[in-house]
Chain A
Amino acid sequence: MRVVILGCGRVGAYLANMLAEAGHQVTVIDKNSLAFNRLGADFPGKTVVGTGIDEDVLRRAGIEQADAFVAVTNGDNTNMMSAQVAREIFGVKRVICRVYDPLRGELYRTLGLETICSTTWAANRIRELLEG
């Protein structure tokens, strides 16, 4: 599978390495080139510096051939906009978007975007652990 990941923070870098190890073709985009240090020296995938809401940057990352796009920057709006660009402009089949704000996540889910809200996910999990 060819996957483009936007955002090379903890989640993005971890996911990129995990997918690359499993044999997938991974390209990571981040606006800060220093962020790619998180990938480690052995990362076999590609890296692209730029902002993920820019069509030209997404094109350079090979979005036109991508099977999946994942948006995991620390900005909810950047994630939601780039996910929609990937889906509507480039027709990427599988688009997943991480958001922090539960309300916005809920709304975009009703608009048909596959969103993961890490806030509600973590809170629910912690509650489960506490209540046994």
Chain B
Amino acid sequence: MYIIVVGGGKVGYYLTKSLLEAGHEVLVIEKDVHKSARLMDELGALVLQGDGCDVAAMSQAGMSRADLVVAVTGDDEDNLVVCQVAKHKFNVPRTIARINNPKNEKIFRILGIDSTVSSTELILSQIEQEIPSRSLVHLMTLRNVGVSFIEMEVPPDSPALGRPLRDLGIPDDCILPLIVRGGSQAIIPYGDTILEAGDQVIAVTSEKSEEKIRQIVYG
């Protein structure tokens, strides 16, 4: 694959090295003259000094034959524009953007960026898993279809205790495929299953019903 990396900071540098090791053809574009000179010392002709949002620099980089463009500068707006220009001007089939503000994920998705990676969000999700708070843990999010896999621990004072699942008012676009009881017993629940305190509940839910299922379990 021919992969163009825009942004030659630490992320861009290690990404480029890893992709080269994996046998890909890689070019990294870096705007800063000093940074790109340092990169050239090590990577030679695989570095292009220029503005990765600039159409001329992109042409020079052979953007139109790239299979993938990865934008990993420190600025969300630059990463967005890199991916949009790559997609709409050069018809690059796949674009990946790094985002810093997790809230920007939505706008990137609406605007057609194929994948986003947010280190802020990744660290946040780690913290969610570490602290025994009442928040639900995101196991996985399928962005394209707007579905999340989440995990919740049923608290001792949960309003969901003592009633079968079918009576809890669980939204239609949310299902509970698995309950883990006592840390070891796997239960595939039905409508008459009753939750117990301490149960680990896995839910597959649309983004809009996430808050509703949280209320059902945590009150």
* Distance A61 CA – B118 CA, assembled complex (angstroms): 26
* Distance A53 CA – B78 CA, assembled complex (angstroms): 11
- Interface size (A, Cβ < 8 Å)? 21
Pick the contact of B85: A54, A75, A88, A104 (CB < 8 A).
A104
Asked whether, in the complex, the Cβ of A107 is within 8 Å of the Cβ of B88, the reply is yes
Asked whether, in the complex, the Cβ of A107 is within 8 Å of the Cβ of B104, the reply is no
Known: A77-B75, A77-B78. A89 touches B53 (CB 8 A): no
Q: Which residues of chain B are within 8 angstroms of A56 by Cβ–Cβ distance?
A: 103
Q: How far is the CB of B76 from chain A (nearest CB, A)?
A: 6
Pick the contact of B77: A80, A88, A103 (CB < 8 A).
A80
Asked whether, in the complex, the Cβ of B77 is within 8 Å of the Cβ of A89, the reply is no
Asked whether, in the complex, the Cβ of B107 is within 8 Å of the Cβ of A107, the reply is no
Known: A103-B55, A107-B89. A75 touches B77 (CB 8 A): yes
* Size range of the chain B interface in the assembly: 20 to 34
Render A68-101 as a binary contact track against B, CB cut-off 8 A, 1 for contact.
0000000111101110110011000000000001
Asked whether, in the complex, the Cβ of B76 is within 8 Å of the Cβ of A81, the reply is yes
**Quick check: is B145 within 8 A (CB to CB) of the other chain?**
no
Query: Is chain A's interface secondary structure helix, strand, loop, or mixed overall?
Result: helix
* Distance A76 CA – B77 CA, assembled complex (angstroms): 9
Query: Is chain B's interface secondary structure helix, strand, loop, or mixed overall?
Result: helix
Asked whether, in the complex, the Cβ of B53 is within 8 Å of the Cβ of A85, the reply is no
Q: Which residues of chain A are within 8 angstroms of B106 by Cβ–Cβ distance?
A: 89
Q: How far is the CB of B204 from chain A (nearest CB, A)?
A: 26
Asked whether, in the complex, the Cβ of B107 is within 8 Å of the Cβ of A78, the reply is no
Q: Which residue of A lies closest to B103 (CB)?
A: A55
Asked whether, in the complex, the Cβ of A89 is within 8 Å of the Cβ of B76, the reply is no
**Quick check: is B101 within 8 A (CB to CB) of the other chain?**
yes
Q: Which residues of chain A are within 8 angstroms of B84 by Cβ–Cβ distance?
A: 107, 111
Asked whether, in the complex, the Cβ of A78 is within 8 Å of the Cβ of B54, the reply is no
Asked whether, in the complex, the Cβ of A104 is within 8 Å of the Cβ of B104, the reply is no
Q: Which residues of chain B are within 8 angstroms of A84 by Cβ–Cβ distance?
A: 80, 107, 111
Known: A80-B81, A104-B53, A104-B55. 6 other contacts (CB 8 A): A53-B104, A77-B80, A78-B77, A103-B56, A107-B55, A111-B88
Chosen A-B contacts, 24 in total, with CB atoms closer than 8 Å, are A55-B103, A75-B77, A77-B75, A78-B77, A80-B80, A80-B81, A81-B77, A81-B81, A84-B111, A85-B107, A88-B107, A89-B107, A89-B110, A101-B53, A101-B54, A101-B55, A103-B54, A103-B55, A104-B53, A104-B55, A104-B85, A107-B85, A110-B88, A111-B84
Q: Residues of B at under 8 Å CB distance from A? A: 53-56, 75-78, 80-81, 84-85, 88-89, 101, 103-104, 106-107, 110-111
